[in-house]
Amino acid sequence: MCQQRKKAHAKVWHLYNDHFRPAQRGKVSIALSSHWIKPQHMTEKNIEECQKSLDFVLGWFAKPIFIDGDYPESMRSSLSSLLPEFSEAEKKYIKGTADFFALSFGATLSFQLLDSHMKFQQLESISLRQLLYWINSEYNNPQIFIVENSWFVSGTTKKDDAKYIYYLKKFIMETLKAIRYDGVNVFGYTVWSLLDGFEWHRGYSIRRGLFYVDFQSHDKKLIPKSSVLFYQKLIEKNGFPPLPENQPIEGVFPCGFAWGIVDNYIQVSLIIKPAACPARSVHKFTVTYLLN
């Protein structure tokens, strides 16, 4: 079935390329979802397993389209008796049938739907920057459009979606770093999604929209979340201008600044010993909590 999907995609691309592109001058691609994976240990074997994981999740579509019309070698060696063979004519027909790399990354696949055996005993990570760098290296520096990206919040969250904003800011900052520092050719970014929708096996128990949809109301009322304002301002500024609140900070806290750990005891005694401060700034004090 996967072979038929690749052929179907290729047929649509060729149809547009031959009959519509000369007049419309548009671009056609296919949205490919991926996770990011890192080795449990920095051994050659673990690194190879990470490569295999990405091949099995992303490469089985990306390599035929962007490289040579065929499945990744790691899939061929592991599933040689199960994978169909492409003829040379089919490889040529499939290869190059995307005008840019359309990437989907976020909660849909990462940490949610990926089967554990597809991780090959390695560690999942939400590093979009590293995935962008890998795609850039693996597929000959393609133009990349991030067509789906975000995180999720509880289905009961109507306005204050701080968690969503946190991840959204993280992903967009990583995209900017990939462009500025890694030379990755990312030319667009799209948040998923404008409105809350049906999230497959999770239904409406989680939400991913910038607008909360009240499915219980007659007119399906839309409520803008905090992320609407964040994303609006981000677009207006075209990123993160060099304002103080956007800059990393280096330095130390004042001597006498209190550091401690809260535990589930009624009384906690703390002794503060900052290494960079003189002995007279060391304090001992007790914090008392009233537990419900």
Residues 109-134: tens digit of each pLDDT: 544 556 778 889 998 888 999 999 99
Residues 118 and 72 grouped into a single domain: yes
- Helix, strand or coil for residue 210? coil
277 or 150, higher pLDDT: 150
Name, in order, each residue with C-beta under 8 angstroms of 233's C-beta and a sequence gap of 6 or more. none
Residues 272-282: tens digit of each pLDDT: 555 666 655 54
pLDDT at residue 78 greater than cutoff 70: yes
Query: 29 preceded by cis ω (within 30°)?
Result: no
Among 143, 212, 206, residue whose Cα is nearest residue 178: 143
Residues 198 and 279 grouped into a single domain: no
Residues 234 and 287 grouped into a single domain: no
Average pLDDT over residues 42-67: 96
State the residue for tokens 């009384």. Answer: 267
pTM: 0.86
Q: With bands split at pLDDT 50, 70 and 90, how would you rate the model's confidence at 236?
A: very high
Residues 55 and 97 grouped into a single domain: yes
The span from the CA of 91 to the CA of 84, in Å, is 12
Predicted local confidence at residue 287, as pLDDT: 54
Residues 165 and 51 grouped into a single domain: yes
Identify the CATH number of the domain in which residue 220 sits: 3.20.20.80
Domain count of the fold of the chain: 2
Predicted local confidence at residue 269, as pLDDT: 52
Q: Where are the alpha helices (DSSP H) in the chain?
A: 2-19, 21-24, 44-54, 60-63, 73-78, 88-94, 128-138, 162-180, 226-237
Determine the structural domain holding residue 122 and report its residue range. 2-250
Residues 241 and 267 grouped into a single domain: no
Residues 236 and 162 grouped into a single domain: yes
Residues 10 and 130 grouped into a single domain: yes
Residues 262 and 230 grouped into a single domain: no
